[in-house]
Chain A
Amino acid sequence: MDTQVQNQAFNKFTEAAETINNAEMKKWKNDGKGIIGYFCSSFPEEIITAAGMMPFRIRATGSEDTELSDSFFSSNNCSFPRHAFNLALKGEFDFLDGIIVFNSCDNIRRIYDHWQRQLKTPFVEFVHIPKKAEAAQVDWFREEMSIFKEKVESHFNLELTDDKLAEAIKTHNETRQLLRQLYDLRKGDSPPITGAETIAITVASTAMPKLTYNKLLKDLLKELNSAKGHSDYKARLMVIGGELDNPGYIDVIESQGGLVVTDSLCFGTRIFWKDVDENIEDPLTALSQYYIVERPSCPRVYGKHADRAGYVKKMIEDFKVDGVIFERLAFCDIWGFEQFSITNDFKEWNVPLLSLDREYTLTAIGQLRTRVQAFMEALGG
């Protein structure tokens, strides 16, 4: 699907999504400010912002091989951490002042064990984020964040006050609200932006200073509000799954005539569909409540499948979705078993579903095109 977006802000977002260390990050770093890397969307990046640093969500964009990390991971490990750690070993993340890993999945959590042994990043920390969403877990995670906050204060010699945390929550909530506005524009019959372009924008939200990002996104929204939009698509699609940061993947899907209008992805709606409650007095409690209970969960969280299914079903209705593509990174057990439940849900709902396994890098494009083409035909497009 051809782009209709010609905007300076969008170009910056695209650059951020297509590179690891983009111009805005270099500028930030040149100003003497720190950048902290983290894996996965369940980590409260607000704490890093409150510390005056920039949170950067680790990707392996541009990685072509795993020749260095193959000594540390096996062929039945997911390709994302293998590519990401390969880039780390090649020095692509040397600009980081710190790295935070948590128990997001069995593949990624082992990056911590290797990173602390193999790399010289000054601040390498581990945080335990619960996999259940009950009151005891909110309390536990609040305590974990408090311990982590003290480590940040001690290592970087700064004070992380409640006021700074509250301010950071406000800034990050603004990002979430702006992104929801962007998605609102996609609910109409002629969305002004494609799915591939949208992923570039959401990925950029994890790779830029938040205030800069918010300003750029406001500029883009102004233009998109009056844009003509796409109406020449054959079907409205939704993509669901885990780690997907490559607009190129969505581009291949859309090349078969469908328009991706929404998603349930961890570089997509799950990072911004709800806000952190600014009315909770203690900011760490507010963050814990949000990250453990409130935000749309991925299947690493136990006991929330019904909520996840409800979330996807409402998206299908609100965005008038004709068919859904489920994508999963090979060797991911979390999404591997979720696939069983999703498949049964979709049968009950009578909504067409295409399930795809993939590698982190964009490979087997021909096969992907063929599968999507067949799906489009089944949808009547």
Chain B
Amino acid sequence: MDAKQKRSLERINEEIVTYSALAEGLALMPDDMSQKVHLPLVKYIVAQHSKTVEHVEKGLPLVANTFTNPPEIFSAMDIHWFFIFQAAWGGGVENPHLMEDLEIVDNMAVASDCCTLLRMGLYYIDQGYLPVPTAYVGIVEPCDGVTSVHEAIMSHKDWRNVPSFAPEPTYYTDERSIKYYAGEIKRMAEFLEKHTGNGLSIDRLRNVIEETNKQYALWHEYNALRMSSPTPHDAILPQSCFYVTNFAGAGDPCHTVWFQDLIAEAERRIAENDPVVPNQKFRVLWFDIPSVYYATLVPWMEQELGGTVVLDMISYCPYTQIDTSTEDTMFEGLAKRSLNDGPMIRQAKGFADNFLADIETIVNDFKIDCVIWPGHMGHKDGAASISLMREKCREINVPFLTIGLDHVDRRYTSLEEIQAKISQFVKAMVL
């Protein structure tokens, strides 16, 4: 490996060390939750990162990708990929370099009012903290920032020669759009085959989809359990459902077992009235992706206010089963899943009605007591939809709070300010 390749693995190797230590700790815990639910998740992260390292070290094909591009295609083609914007999150544990990184990001030639999460991804590339991939798959939605940051990445001196492709979701959700998007996904598969040399076997794709079908069905089952009050688990596990289905290697039968164990654990807690978060006083819909400081904010809300986040945008599971009878039904099913079901793409790429319909469904199904729209500075379409969301919440008689924060940068709105806003809102409107 040359110096550039070594640098590109520095941060990934750091995470492997962090998560491996966490896995060792969890392995010592005797309870089912640690052994069957948390430990496998941490192992998945370590395994994915280790595979990335192996592919760089051995010069094997490696693809940079973004979420909601159907992971089933990558699994069926046996292509290993990594997610560019995972950098800012550190894979669930807040990146320990975050504050020093942000100071450098401030001085990049990107406007500071652009999404910090995306700026961080670009920063990682600019600093050489991500491996230069064999091929790069972006996506053209759900926001201007995503489209534009891909452009910036593609013109970066280290990445401009990397072959790239980005499927374009349509603004609509109808059959015509699904057929069009199925074509985009086929073109993505052709692109991947051309640049990695790995072909797509339709039988293998069918096997992968049949397994993810099982997992999405189990996720539905799990979310149905979260409808019960008190809700059995805290706010971190539901996001893990998305991680397991979309990031950890789609279609792995081990993940099906993980879902079954998750459900069994939740059922036991409901039967024994033993929720992870005791004294639940009100139920929250966090209507966005989680912030990097979510792991601090949510426990505070649980302990200080008695609020439990039942669902967030990533944890919502509107996914439908894919018909595996023919190649066309599989591609159209994957298109629908990517275009209409995946988080953010589902809500933000089209009309504001998409936000409103989901709020109403989730509030009713999950017996939500209040809706929090975090108001991430990068979500401009959401910022222009706040009045409509507020109006919808008024109509269905549920309190609505918008905070105004940066999912990545605590300096934008401090944790203390966020807590104060939530606290005042809950005391005045919810309890």
Contact = CB atoms under 8 A, between A and B. Distances in A.
A7 interface: no
A328 B111 contact: yes
Given A76-B380, A337-B118, A341-B151, A331 B113 contact: yes
Interface string A55-84: 000000000000000011110111001000
A313 interface: no
A73 B384 contact: yes
Given A103-B171, A328-B111, A341-B152, A302 B388 contact: no
B150 A126 contact: no
Nearest to A355: B109
B180 A140 contact: yes
B415 interface: no
A357 B385 contact: no
Interface in A316-346: 328, 330-341, 343-345
Contact of A333 (B114, B138, B154, B176): B114
B155 A306 contact: yes
A137 B168 CA distance: 9
Contacts of A81: 384
B115 interface: yes
Interface residues of B, number: 50
Contacts of B151: 299, 302-305, 337-338, 341
Interface in B142-197: 143-145, 147-152, 154-157, 164, 166, 168, 170-172, 176, 180, 183-184, 187
A159 interface: no
B109 A339 contact: yes
Interface string B39-50: 000000000000
Contacts of A344: 109, 155-157
Contacts of B388: 113-114, 117
A140 B138 CA distance: 20
B384 A337 contact: no
Contacts of A117: 388
A74 B150 contact: no
A302 B113 contact: no
A378 interface: no
Given A112-B351, A132-B140, A136-B184, A77 B384 contact: yes
Given A76-B377, A305-B151, A336 B384 contact: no
A153 interface: no
A287 B138 CA distance: 27
Nearest to B166: A302
A303 B154 contact: yes
A253 B385 CA distance: 36
A219 B148 CA distance: 41
A60 B113 CA distance: 22
B333 interface: no
Q: Considering residues B113, B138, B352, which has the most beta carbons from chain A within 10 angstroms of its beta carbon?
A: B113
B153 to A, nearest CB: 9
A30 B111 CA distance: 46
A106 B113 CA distance: 14
A337 B110 contact: yes
A337 B157 contact: no
B353 A333 contact: no
B360 interface: no
A336 B148 contact: yes
Given A299-B151, A306-B155, A336 B110 contact: yes
B387 interface: yes
Contacts of B418: none
B122 A76 contact: no
Contacts of A105: 144, 380
Contacts of B404: 76
A73 B150 contact: no
A336 B171 contact: no
B286 to A, nearest CB: 18
A74 B164 contact: no
A155 interface: no
A336 B140 contact: no
A336 B166 contact: no
Interface string B286-327: 000000000000000000000000000000000000000000
B409 to A, nearest CB: 14
A110 B157 contact: no
A107 interface: yes
A375 B60 CA distance: 48
B386 interface: yes
30 contacts: A71-B387, A74-B384, A76-B404, A107-B380, A107-B381, A110-B384, A113-B384, A117-B388, A128-B172, A131-B147, A132-B168, A136-B180, A137-B168, A140-B170, A143-B176, A302-B151, A303-B154, A305-B151, A331-B113, A333-B114, A335-B111, A336-B113, A336-B148, A337-B122, A339-B111, A340-B110, A340-B122, A341-B152, A341-B155, A357-B111
Given A77-B383, A338-B152, 17 more contacts: A72-B387, A74-B375, A74-B386, A76-B113, A106-B384, A112-B351, A126-B171, A128-B172, A130-B168, A132-B168, A302-B138, A330-B111, A333-B378, A334-B148, A336-B113, A337-B110, A339-B109
Interface of B: 108-111, 113-115, 118, 122, 138, 140, 143-145, 147-152, 154-157, 164, 166, 168, 170-172, 176, 180, 183-184, 187, 351-353, 375, 377-378, 380-381, 383-388, 404
Interface of A: 71-74, 76-78, 81, 103, 105-107, 109-110, 112-114, 117, 126, 128, 130-132, 136-137, 140, 143, 299-300, 302-306, 309, 328, 330-341, 343-345, 355, 357
Q: Which 4 A-B pairs have the closest CB atoms?
A: A110-B384, A337-B148, A336-B111, A343-B109
